[in-house]
């Protein structure tokens, strides 16, 4: 269930073909969870500013059940920054990355929370 959500003011038409797939594969590699569980969301054309400027900018939210820690977050920042900056043409100093560790009781899928799924598979 790891999710990478990018909110950005760049036009949707400038998001390169294949970017979602490339980001999904990278997220799977960095987070260490199978790609079948990775969710990528790109919210382009979002009215936003950073530092009082409407120049291209973004807010990136990375969430996961587990796999969020100071050490892992540094690894994720180092991995995601070049891809986002290069492919979306947003300078690295024009976006924030935020990490959020979710509790398995707070995420549902296919009629059960992940906590229920983990209990029933034990």
Percent over 70 (pLDDT), the chain: 100
pTM: 0.95
Cα–Cα dist 46/24, whole Å: 21
Cα–Cα dist 17/14, whole Å: 9
Superfamily of domain 3-120: Macrophage Migration Inhibitory Factor (3.30.429.10)
| Residue of 84, 104, 91 whose CA lies nearest to 27 | 84
Question: What is the band of 118 on the pLDDT scale with cuts at 50, 70, 90?
Answer: confident
91 counts as catalytic: no
Active-site annotation holder among 2, 11, 34, 82? 2
């Amino acid at each position: 269930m790891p999710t990478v959500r990018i909110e950005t003011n760049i036009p949707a038409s400038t998001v390169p073909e294949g970017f979602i797939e490339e980001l999904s594969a990278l997220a799977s590699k960095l987070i260490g969870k199978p790609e079948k569980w990775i969710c990528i969301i790109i919210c382009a054309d979002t009215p936003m500013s950073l530092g009082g400027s409407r120049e291209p900018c973004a807010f990136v939210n990375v969430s996961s059940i587990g796999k969020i820690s100071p050490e892992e977050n540094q690894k994720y920042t180092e991995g995601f920054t070049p891809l986002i900056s290069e492919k979306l043409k947003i300078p690295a100093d024009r976006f924030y990355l935020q990490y959020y560790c979710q509790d398995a009781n707070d995420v549902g899928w296919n009629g059960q929370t992940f906590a229920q799924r983990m209990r029933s598979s034990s």
